[in-house]
Structure 1
Amino acid sequence: MKIILSLFFACTTFLCHAQNNSIKKEKWHWDNPSRQDTSAGYVQVLKVDNMLYISGAVTKEVTPEGIRQVYNALEKSLKSFGATFQNVVKENLYTTDIEAMKKHNSIRKAFYNGDFPAATWVQVSRLYMSEAKLEVELTAHLPK
């Protein structure tokens, strides 16, 4: 019984310490002083160590202008921590019209200047904002 109790307390102590490990998070949210959106509950850019996790930028139109608008917003998000599209290692693209996105892919590709990230494109029936037609999120890696 004494061994079982010792193991229980050792495991409980370990789990408590494992759950108390915290990470340093730096946030940026469209120049918002609170650095996050409390109504929807998200942040535009979250920096942990040398990684940037960038929430999706959206547009209502999958047109050259709409795509450019999304990637300009993502560029601003990247710049908030001194990054560029050359720091992007993963791109997730969600659209309600994959064929239109494929047709205008040259607009997207120009932002990467030939240095493309891993990417996933998914057609969905709708996005969080019901009028949105395209949302793109990024993960970027900063030099140490």
Structure 2
Amino acid sequence: MKQPSPRRVFSGSPWEQKVGYCRAVRVGQTIHVAGTTATDPNGTVLAVGDPYGQAKAIFAIIEKALVAVGATLNDVVRTRMFVTRIDDWQEIGRAHQEVFGAIYPAATMVAVSRLIDPEHLVEIEVDAVVAAVTSEA
């Protein structure tokens, strides 16, 4: 059986072109959303200094990417959160709970020494699996 061709979606972030990646890739029922920061398409960092605000902005960007490839936040099975200040875990965790509190994906949060832009406090990536492949996928 032939594997379906990858379907890619871009958010418009300047990092996608600079680094050479897309926001999300769907192959069959599996979707991988790249590490996402609170950055608008113009490259402006959102919610500077606010880990909760950045996490909420990130989840909105991730949700848009999932929808673009035929999925929803309900399809997320794994999240990975990279934080520059581990003491922010409660605020980032609160945002995660607000989005995934009824979904309960497997989750990881780790502290990293820094992200590409020093104003980024958190970067999040997710994996999702949709129930069935549709002709739109």
Alignment of 1:79-90 (within 5 A): 79-90=67-78
Q: Secondary structure at the match of 1:39?
A: helix
Residue type of the alignment partner of 1:58: T
TM-score by length of 1: 0.73
Identify the residue that residue 115 of structure 1 maps to in structure 2.
Answer: 103
User: How many residues are matched?
Assistant: 121
Question: Which residue does the alignment assign to 1:17?
Answer: none
Q: Which residue of 2 aligns with 1:10?
A: none
Counterpart of 2:63 in structure 1 is 75
Q: State yes or no: 1:58 paired with 2:37.
A: yes
- Unmatched segments (≥5 aa) in structure 2: 39-47, 133-137
Whole-angstrom CA distance in 2 between matches of 1:71 and 1:54: 11
Tell whether 2:90 aligns with 1:102.
yes
Residues 129 and 81 of structure 1: is their aligned pair in 2 closer, same or farther, counting only changes over 3 Å? Answer: same
**Cα distance, 1:30 vs structure 2:** 1.7
Matched, 1:24 2:5: yes
- SS at the partner of 1:100? helix
Structure 2 CA distance for aligned equivalents of residues 104 and 27 of structure 1: 27
Distance 1:31 1:40, change over 3 A: closer
Higher-Rg member (1/2): 1
Q: Give the deviation of 1:139 after TM superposition.
A: 0.4
What residue in structure 1 maps to residue 44 of structure 2?
Answer: none
* Paired position in structure 1 for 2:126: 138
In the TM superposition, structure 1's runs of 4+ consecutive aligned residues that sit over 4 Å from their partners are none
Contact 2:76–2:126 at 8 Å: present in 1 too?
A: yes
